[in-house]
Amino acid sequence: MLNKLLILIILFSLFTDFYSCTGFVIKSETGVVLCKNLDWDFADGYVIVNQRGEQKTAIVNENRIPLRWKAKYGSVTFNQFGYGLPLGGMNEKGLVMEELSYFLTSCPDKENIPALNEFQLIQYVLDNFRNVEEAVGAIKEINISRLMFRLHYILTDAEGKSAVIEFHKSGVSVYTGKDLPVEALSNNSYSECLDYSFKFKAFGGERDLPKGNQNCERFVIAGALADLYTGDIDITEYGFGILDKVRMSDTQWSIVYNPAAMTISFRTVENGGEEINFSEFNFGDGKILFKDINKQERFSELTIENNNILIENIFEKLAGKKHIKLEQAEELKTSISRLFPE
């Protein structure tokens, strides 16, 4: 038993070294931002403008019933695996949701309840809910059928309410309100990082801020610096400053969502930075728009050919790096391609 536990701990430490992301929320009297670093092997991705009214069907494992829904709200999402499977985004009501890897996620087993996968959960939430309260209420009843990766999630909204969501075999853990004293997330469980934070002066302990970049260290640094925001400088720039502090050697994207201003600012390794303003888009005209996240270019209409280019490229890389098996990559490419509306 001890040997198995030791192996699990070693595997977890190796996993978190390779899949390290950081997310956090900054609040002021005038607004709120959610900030996220994507730290991972690949920079590929599209920024996609999703329309209201689109009919959606989940991709799930063979023994699960796929959830079906119609989008109530438009959104802007950051997609690496193709249309319909975002890593994060914000909808036109100012609800923001982002994912981070969490190796110990274990989804509840609900065989007879319609399910959706770990990335479509983000699109489902953005499609259907105006704020964190609505989203949390629905997520508690959600059935997740994991396709590829183990994740947990951080959300915020234009009202300044935030939440962290984690799935376990026994159900869903929701941290919000007084249960979310530090509005940050990395790649260990929220409760583990919160317990660790109490060792530091910023959270009532005796230690100075950590100088390392392990998961709970980044959680403490991000949470402490977010709490120090005074409004003296632009909140988006302050967010990018913290993202730089918790940056890893493999940081690919840095994103700051501002639901009060209805803007998203982002920087990538290959793209110095851009700002997206929701006022530029018509979420009801039926046109799904996209741009390459790594290029300074205008949005254009997404076609099935453009979508398939992203899918082919990323799944070739995933299989090449052995993140997934080649046979699984081929199956997923076909399934994800079918998500694009005809």
DSSP string spanning 252-297? EEEEEEETTTTEEEEEESS---EEEEGGG--TTSS--EEEETTS--
* Sequence letter at residue 285: D
Q: What angle do CA 261, 28, 264 make, to 5 degrees?
A: 30
DSSP designation for 65: P
pLDDT score of 169: 83
What Å distances lie between residue 206 and 196, 197, 209, CA to CA?
Answer: 12, 11, 10
Residue 338 has what pLDDT? 95
CA 189/CA 102 separation, integer angstroms: 7
Q: pLDDT of the chain along its 342 residues, tens only? A: 445 444 444 444 444 434 689 999 999 998 999 999 999 999 999 999 999 999 999 999 888 899 999 999 999 999 999 999 999 999 999 999 999 999 988 877 677 889 999 999 999 999 999 999 999 999 998 899 999 999 999 999 999 999 999 998 888 999 999 999 999 999 999 999 999 999 999 999 999 999 999 999 999 999 999 999 999 999 999 999 999 999 999 999 999 999 999 999 999 999 989 999 999 999 999 999 999 999 999 999 999 999 999 999 999 999 999 999 999 999 999 999 999 997
Q: Spell out where the chain has E strands.
A: 22-27, 32-39, 46-50, 55-57, 68-70, 75-79, 86-91, 96-101, 115-116, 143-144, 151-156, 162-168, 171-176, 184-185, 251-258, 263-268, 274-277, 289-292, 300-301
Pairing relationship of beta strands 143-144 and 115-116 according to DSSP bridges: parallel
User: What does the pLDDT read at residue 19?
Assistant: 65
**pTM tops 0.85:** yes
Residue 20: the pLDDT is 82
Torsion sign, CA atoms 313, 315, 318, 321: negative
